[in-house]
Amino acid sequence: MTFIKKHSGVNNSFPALFDDLFAKELFGFTPTKSFNNFAKNVPAVNILETEHEFKIEVAAPGVKKDDFKVEFEDGVLTISSETKQEQENKDENGKYTRREFSFSSFKRSFTVDEEAIDTEKLEAKYENGVLNIHVPKKEVQVVEKKPKTIAVS
How high is the pLDDT of residue 103?
78
Domain boundaries, the chain: 4-136
How high is the pLDDT of residue 49?
92
> Are 101 and 86 within 8 A, CB to CB?
yes
Alpha carbon distance 72, 78 (integer Å): 6
How high is the pLDDT of residue 43?
87
> Are 129 and 44 within 8 A, CB to CB?
no
* Record: fold of 4-136: Immunoglobulin-like (2.60.40)
Alpha carbon distance 91, 75 (integer Å): 53
How high is the pLDDT of residue 72?
92
How high is the pLDDT of residue 25?
47
Q: Which residues of the chain are modeled with pLDDT < 50?
A: 1, 10-39
How high is the pLDDT of residue 11?
46
How high is the pLDDT of residue 29?
44
